[in-house]
Copies of this chain bind each other. A is one copy, B any other.
Amino acid sequence: MADFFESRRSIRRYENRDVSEQLLNHLLGKAFRASNTGNMQVYSVVVTRSAEKKEALSPLHFNQPMIKQAPVVLTFCADFHRFSQWCELSDANPGYDNFLSFYTASVDAMLVAQNFAALAEQAGLGIYFLGTTNYNAQGIIDVLGLPELVFPVTTITLGYPAETPDQTDRLPLEAVVHNEVYNRGQDVKRLYAEKESLSENQAFVRDNNKTSLAQVFTDIRYTKENNELFSKSLLEAIRKQGYKF
Residues from 127 to 166 in A contacting B, C-beta threshold 8 Å: 127-129, 131, 134-135, 144-147, 150, 153-154
The answer to whether B153 and A95 have CB atoms under 8 Å apart is: no
- Write out, one digit per residue, whether chain A residues 13-45 have a CB within 8 A of any chain B CB (1) or not (0): 000000000000100111111110111110111
Residue of B with least CB distance to A114? B114
A182 to B45, CA, bound (A): 9
A214 to B86, CA, bound (A): 7
Residue of B with least CB distance to A154? B107
Copy tally for this chain in the complex stands at 2
A217 to B87, CA, bound (A): 9
What chain B residues lie within 8 Å of A209 (beta carbons)? Answer: none
Residues from 166 to 197 in A contacting B, C-beta threshold 8 Å: 167-171, 173, 175-182, 184, 186, 188-189, 191-192
Q: A213-B90, A227-B96 are in contact. Are A184 and B147 (CB under 8 A)?
A: yes
The answer to whether A184 and B103 have CB atoms under 8 Å apart is: no
A128 to B170, CA, bound (A): 26
Q: Within 8 Å of chain B (Cβ to Cβ): is A228?
A: yes
- Write out, one digit per residue, whether chain A residues 37-79 have a CB within 8 A of any chain B CB (1) or not (0): 1111101111111100100000000000000000000000000
The answer to whether B145 and A92 have CB atoms under 8 Å apart is: no
A38 to B220, CA, bound (A): 12
The answer to whether A245 and B231 have CB atoms under 8 Å apart is: yes
Q: Within 8 Å of chain B (Cβ to Cβ): is A202?
A: no
Q: Within 8 Å of chain B (Cβ to Cβ): is A6?
A: yes
A sample of 7 inter-chain contacts (CB < 8 A) reads A1-B1, A5-B30, A35-B117, A87-B217, A95-B227, A111-B113, A111-B129
